[in-house]
Structure 1
Amino acid sequence: MLELFRKYLSLRPPHVKHKRLFLYYKAEKCGSQPVGKNTMGKIPSVVASYLKLPDVACYTGHCLRRSSVTLLADAGVDITTIKRHAGWKSTTVAEGYVENSIENKTKIANQVLVGTTTSAITKTVNVSEKTDLEKGLYYY
C-alpha cells in the first residue's frame, strides 16, 4: 500500500498549492482541483455499479465510514482510537457503527472456546497438543 501511495504522490503536479490528497484525473492527466466530499461519497455506488451489485443506491459514502470503523475494530483497535478516527465523542455511537463481521464473531468465539476449555483440557493434553489448543483448534 505504501508503494501505491508513493506512486500516487509522484504523479501530483508541482504547481498544486493545497495539501489535499485526492486530485481530479481526467484524460490521464492530473489537475490541481481537489476531489470534493460529494465525489468521494459517490465512490461506493460507482464501485457497486461496476460490480453489478443490486440496489446500487444503497451504497453511499456512509458505507466507507462503517467499513473503516469495522475494520479497525476487527484489527483490535481500542474504542478511543476509533472515536478519534471518526470524530465522535460518544462511545455508544462508535459502538453502533461497528458491524458484527464474520471475522469479529470468529475471533470472539475462538477466544471464548480457548478461555473456557483451556483450564478443563490442559490437564489431559500433552505438551505438543497445547500449541493447537492455544490456537483455538479444539472445539469441545
Structure 2
Amino acid sequence: MPIRPEHRFFYPIDWAQLSAVIRFGRAKGFGRPHGQKMVYHLGDGRWWDAQAGRWRDGWGRRIRIAAEADILKRARRTRVVLAAAHRDHDTSNNADANLAAFRQRCHMIHDRPEHQRRRWRTLFRRKALGDLFGGPYV
C-alpha cells in the first residue's frame, strides 16, 4: 500500500526491499502474480478462482453459490495487489515475526481499528482547535 508522505519517516529507508522480501520471498506471492492478474469478485470478499474453477470466500475457502443467483451483474474485476503489514501497527518494529504479507483487502481489514483510531483523533483535534480559536470545525 502506498505510504502517506507524512508517515514516510516512520518507515526504514529500505522498506521497499524489506516489503518485497516479505511479500514474494516468505509468502511467495500467495501463488498469484502481483499487479498483473485480474480477479472477478463480488465486493464482499467472495472471488472467482479461475485456476480451480470455483468461488472462494475472503479466506480462500471453497464456497457454493446458488445457480439461480444472478452473480454476473454483481461481479467486478480487480487486480491482485499484495502488501506487507506490521501485525502490531508499530512501524518501528520490523522484526520478522511482526511483518506479514496480506492481499490489499485483508490488509485494510487488519488495519481497520487503527484507521478508526486515527480518524477519531483527527476529528477530535479539529473540534478542539475549533473550540479553542472559535472557528469552524474544518
TM-score, length basis structure 2: 0.24
By percentage of residues, which structure has more strand?
2
Bigger RCO of structures 1 and 2 (CA < 8 A, at least 6 apart):
2
TM-score, length basis structure 1: 0.24
